[in-house]
């Protein structure tokens, strides 16, 4: 069976060994004679699966004991509303850093629930960098400061978490588990699973218990973090198969040596691709300022945009998939999530060099 190299921004590649294990257990999970999709989410078998997934995530990220780990339905777009619903209740105001398309969407949604201040923005430079901290205008009375650690569309990433005198909220959808993160330095971290840790339909929320029970009165019980925590993420039927796949991926990460080890691999992948772009004499271009370049998502463009369709066609024939850029910005993009191998990135780089020679 020939496997393609999947550079999609999400859903994206899963580790082959995880897919093989899921395939082997598909009809008979843990000797039950049923698929994991068929067993009750309240059965001992599933509760054991859920407990192990949480413990593996805690171990990988060094999550302090006073933080709750929630496995919830939906993706980042739901969290854009769920965060202000749950955290803005005591202050009625929050600060946001605007560094790309997804932080912009989070801002738009949060404004429905309270006063949202844009503490800093790089929109005037078309999101080619993270605004310098000296430019930020922070409100010391804000309920929280929200930032998007990695912008999947614009390919901009924070080198270090922001410093704030209020709880720090991180949208880590495209970077969680790909690099170290100081959980204790945050009030809340959220991430959808379909980038670095599993399948679409499931998100992880890691939240300091001190921030629970502050939800707005309008918050439905099913979206209330405190209620979800007390029900161990099972207020209703969870996305069981996505949870199962996430658990397998967390085990795979631990076998690979954990976050520190996978981060080194991710850095190596990014170096290969950026070197290819920067060494192409302008044939390919990445417009993000070097200190802020993402190791997770690499957008790039051809100097001659008319060649883009041929690039994608030829890449597809070489088994290099998911390289079309986001519709809002166009161009090309390669996402280098955890399950994308160094060999895959080297194959992409080789193709890009061949394509440039043919058209240069």
End-to-end CA distance of the chain: 35
Residues 242 and 296 in one domain: no
Question: How far apart are alpha carbons 205 and 200 in whole angstroms?
Answer: 15
Residues 269 and 238 in one domain: no
CA atoms within a 13 Å half-sphere pointing along the CA-CB vector of 248 = 22
Indicate whether this model's pTM tops 0.85: yes
Give residues with Cβ within 8 angstroms of 205, minimum separation 6. Answer: 68, 69, 70, 72, 79, 82, 188, 189, 190, 225
Residues 138 and 179 in one domain: yes
Structural domain including 211 reads 16-255
Residues 225 and 299 in one domain: no
Question: What is the CATH number for 336?
Answer: 3.90.1150.10
Residues 311 and 237 in one domain: no
CA atoms within a 13 Å half-sphere pointing along the CA-CB vector of 196 = 28
Which long-range contacts link 105-109 to residues 24+ away (Cβ below 8 Å)?
Answer: 105/77, 105/80, 106/76, 106/80, 106/146, 106/148, 106/171, 108/80, 109/77, 109/80, 109/81, 109/84
Q: What DSSP letter does each residue of 122-153 carry, written as one string?
A: -GGGTS-SPPPGGG----TT-S-EEEESEETT
Q: Which of 56, 95, 179, 195 is catalytic?
A: 195
Q: Is 171 a catalytic residue?
A: yes
User: Which helix or strand (DSSP H or E) is residue 52 part of?
Assistant: helix 44-61
Question: How far apart are alpha carbons 121 and 97 in whole angstroms?
Answer: 6
- Residue 55 tokens read as 């413990």
pLDDT tens per residue, range 229-279: 999 999 999 999 999 999 999 999 999 999 999 999 999 999 999 999 999
Pair 348, 320: CB distance under 8 Å:
yes
Q: Assess if residue 199 is contained within a domain.
A: yes
Q: Is 102 a catalytic residue?
A: yes
Q: Look at the chain and report how many structural domains it folds into.
A: 2
Q: Which of 56, 95, 102, 243 is catalytic?
A: 102
Q: What DSSP letter does each residue of 296-344 carry, written as one string?
A: SEEEEEESSGGGHHHHHHHHHHTTEE--BPPTTT-SEEEE--TTS-HHH
What local confidence, expressed as pLDDT, does residue 89 receive?
Answer: 87
Residues 354 and 228 in one domain: no
Strand pairing class (93-98; 115-121):
parallel
What local confidence, expressed as pLDDT, does residue 318 receive?
Answer: 96
pLDDT tens per residue, range 7-59: 999 999 999 999 999 999 999 999 999 999 999 999 999 999 999 999 999 99
What local confidence, expressed as pLDDT, does residue 1 receive?
Answer: 61
Residues 30 and 50 in one domain: yes
Residues 159 and 143 in one domain: yes
Residue 174: phi and psi, rounded to 5, are -100, 5
Q: Which of 56, 95, 171, 208 is catalytic?
A: 171
Give residues with Cβ within 8 angstroms of 298, minimum separation 6. Answer: 155, 270, 273, 274, 277, 286, 333, 334, 335, 336
pLDDT at 357 over 90: yes
For CA atoms 264, 53, 168, 166, give the dihedral sign: negative
Q: Assess if residue 9 is contained within a domain.
A: no
pLDDT tens per residue, range 118-176: 999 999 999 999 999 998 999 999 999 999 999 999 999 999 999 989 999 999 999 99
């Amino acid at each position: 069976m020939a496997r393609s190299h999947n550079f999609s921004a999400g859903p994206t590649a899963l580790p082959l060994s995880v897919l093989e294990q899921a395939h082997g257990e598909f009809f008979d999970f843990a000797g039950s004679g049923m698929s994991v999709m068929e067993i009750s989410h309240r059965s001992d078998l599933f509760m054991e699966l859920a407990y192990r997934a949480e413990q593996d995530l805690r171990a990988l990220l060094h999550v302090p004991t006073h933080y709750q780990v929630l496995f919830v339905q939906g993706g980042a777009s739901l969290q854009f509303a769920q965060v202000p619903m749950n955290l803005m209740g005591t202050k009625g105001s929050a600060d946001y850093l605007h560094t790309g398309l997804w932080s912009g969407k989070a801002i738009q949604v949060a404004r429905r629930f309270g006063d949202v201040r844009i503490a800093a923005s790089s929109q005037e430079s078309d999101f080619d960098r993270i605004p310098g901290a000296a430019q930020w205008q922070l409100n010391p009375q804000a309920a929280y400061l929200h930032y998007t650690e990695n912008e999947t569309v614009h390919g901009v990433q924070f080198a270090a978490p922001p410093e704030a005198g209020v709880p720090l909220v991180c949208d880590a959808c495209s970077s969680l588990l790909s690099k170290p993160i100081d959980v204790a330095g945050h009030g809340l971290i959220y991430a959808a699973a379909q980038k670095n840790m599993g399948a679409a339909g499931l998100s992880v929320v890691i939240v300091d218990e001190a921030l629970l029970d502050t939800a707005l009165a309008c918050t439905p019980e099913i979206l209330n973090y405190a209620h979800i925590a007390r029900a161990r993420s099972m207020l209703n039927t969870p996305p069981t198969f996505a949870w199962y796949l996430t658990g397998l991926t967390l085990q795979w990460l631990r076998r690979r040596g954990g976050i520190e080890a996978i981060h080194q691999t991710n850095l190596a992948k990014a170096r290969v691709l950026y070197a290819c772009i920067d060494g192409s004499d302008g044939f390919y271009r990445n417009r993000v300022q070097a200190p802020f370049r993402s190791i997770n998502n690499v957008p790039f463009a051809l100097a001659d945009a008319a060649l883009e369709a041929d690039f994608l066609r030829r890449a597809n024939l070489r088994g290099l998939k998911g390289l079309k850029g986001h519709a809002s910005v166009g161009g090309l993009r390669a996402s280098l999530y955890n399950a994308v191998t160094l060999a895959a990135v080297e194959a992409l780089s080789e193709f890009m060099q061949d394509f440039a020679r043919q058209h240069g």
